[in-house]
Amino acid sequence: MRTLDDVELKGKRVFLRVDFNVPLDKAGNVTDDLRIRAVLPSIRKILDSGGRLVIASHLGRPKGKRAPEFSLKPAGEYLAGLLGKPVPLAPDCIGPEVEQLVSGLGKGEALLLENLRFYPGEEKNDPEFAGKLAALADVYANDAFAVSHRAHASVEGITRLVPVCVAGYQLRKEIEYFRKALEEPQRPLAIVVGGAKVSTKIGVLRNLIARADYLIIGGAMANTFFKAQGKGVGKSLVEDDHISTAARLLEDANQRGVKVFLPVDAVVATSSDSCGDVRQVSIERVPPQMQILDIGSQSVEVFESVLKGCKTIVWNGPMGVFETPPFNKGTFALAEFLGALKALVVIGGGDSAAAIRQAGAEDKVSYVSTGGGAFLELLEGLQLPGIVALEECAKRTAS
């Protein structure tokens, strides 16, 4: 892949695909600006180089129809505040009026297109829609890692139609940290996996077992592994149809010499909505009428004793129902511990990123990925269409 440093930007119409799919409150205010801040270096590079910047993104799931609640106006206003200069919002993302606005851009000026997903052609990777986007560009830059696992028109289709295609700085950083953590790691390498379901991470676990030295499993997905070991978990969430899968994963890890660590104790209650009877119990003594909702303090100690000797750590998925106190203590304790380590620590996944921020450790770990599904697919060993498209474009240019 080439980057923004490898091409001429002055006077060029630079179509920058970003991911401004950010959470908004009821008043339409941005409540988490991670993905906007992440692409500021690319935006500033283009503007400072005299590029004529066309910013494109989606927001939410408007299902191919124009919907005011999914307008990118709040994101554009927030970006303008960060830049200290206006970023007008176009009334659409394609069409004669948009083409005229792009033609009128001066060097170092920016325009934000309206939501790409107002058109069904975006998610369908429709060649005609991709062609209308490509008509706005001399240079295409992808800085939207979080959607690079989608073969959409603004991610994959457009790269076949714009002669110069490059990676933005954020996308490049995502790939570099992934390579450092999983393709060329300093060992020992520990993988920490949490979240609710084993079923959504079977491919991830299989791929990581082949790479890791240590595998730590927490969150509700650990319950299925406990059942595979014949342990009772009360009324906790369990994927009964994946108990045999969990057993095979444990056996595979054992055969490969990967040491697997599961929680040794848990915080339990009758439900995450009921905090009246919250207890910490051994995994061997989970009451039949209660649910496991967080890892216990002894589990935190065990996990920390493993992680303190590792040089590379990748974490995906919380250790409990961290959105609801008091079931956030295990996740937050782990986050704070990782923030204090000198190891390469890479955090990926929406819930993990939210947890690390809420724990105040976002700026202390090595890297927090902006991708959820895209990060998971990399962990699974899959190729991302958006990355492949940039690599193929570079090959065409080189030949």
Distances (CA, A) of 180 to 67, 161, 345: 41, 32, 10
Catalytic residue among 197, 248, 259, 364: 197
374 in a structural domain: no
**For residue 334, which amino acid is it?**
L
- Please give the average per-residue pLDDT across 132-155, as a whole number: 98
What band does 176 get if pLDDT is binned at 50, 70 and 90? Answer: very high
What is the C-alpha separation between 289 and 236, in angstroms, rounded?
9
- Nearest alpha-carbon partner for 10 in 80, 97, 105, 96: 105
Quote the pLDDT of residue 371. 87
pLDDT for res 350: 76
CB 93 within 8 A of CB 118: yes
Identify whether 373 is part of a domain: no
Question: Are residues 155 and 258 located together in one domain of the fold?
Answer: no
Statement: residue 272 has pLDDT above 90: no
Quote the CA–CA distance of 231 and 365 in Å, as a whole number: 35
Segment 54-77 shows an average pLDDT of 97
On the question of a cis peptide bond just before residue 326, with omega within 30 degrees of 0, the verdict is yes
Task: Measure the CA–CA gap between 205 and 211, rounded to whole angstroms.
Answer: 10
Q: How does residue 30 score in pLDDT terms, banded at 50, 70 and 90? A: very high
Residue 353 in this model has a pLDDT that exceeds 90: no
In a shared domain, residues 321 and 232: yes
Domain that holds residue 147: 4-167+383-398
Q: What is the pLDDT of residue 349?
A: 81
Select from 347, 346, 341, 334 the least CA-distant residue to 308: 341
Given 121, 339, 350, 386, the catalytic residue:
350
Position 354 confidence tier, pLDDT thresholds 50, 70, 90: confident
- Give CA separation, 276 vs 268, 291, 331, in Å: 11, 13, 21
More confident residue, 275 or 323: 323
Predicted confidence at residue 273, as pLDDT, reads 86
- 221-268: pLDDT as tens digits: 999 999 999 999 999 999 999 999 999 999 999 999 999 999 999 999
> Where residue 70 sits, what CATH number does that domain have?
3.40.50.1260
Q: What is the mean pLDDT of residues 280-295?
A: 96
* pLDDT value of residue 264: 98
pLDDT level of residue 398 (50, 70, 90 thresholds)? confident
Q: 42, 68, 310, 67: which is closest to 192 by C-alpha?
A: 310
Do both 162 and 179 map to the same domain?
A: no
Taking residues 27-41, what's their average pLDDT? 94
Q: Is residue 149 over pLDDT 90? A: yes
Query: Is 339 found in the same domain as 394?
Result: no
One domain, residues 123 and 184 = no
Residue 275 has pLDDT above 80, yes or no: no
* Residue 259 bears catalytic tag: no
Residues 263 and 231 in one domain: yes
The per-residue pLDDT of the chain, averaged, comes to 95
Q: Catalytic residue, from 35, 132, 150, 329: name it.
A: 35
**What are 42-59's pLDDT values in tens digits?**
999 999 999 999 999 999
Co-location of 276 and 356 in the same domain: yes
Q: Is 373 a catalytic residue?
A: yes
Q: Compute the distance between CA of residue 284 and CA of residue 278 in angstroms, rounded to an integer.
A: 17
In a domain, 128, yes or no: yes
Phi, psi of 147 (to 5 degrees): -115, 10
Q: What percent of the chain has pLDDT over 90?
A: 91
Is 232 tagged catalytic?
Answer: no
pLDDT score, position 43: 98
What is d(CA 304, CA 310) in angstroms, rounded to the nearest whole number?
A: 10
Annotated catalytic residue: which of 50, 64, 108, 373? 373
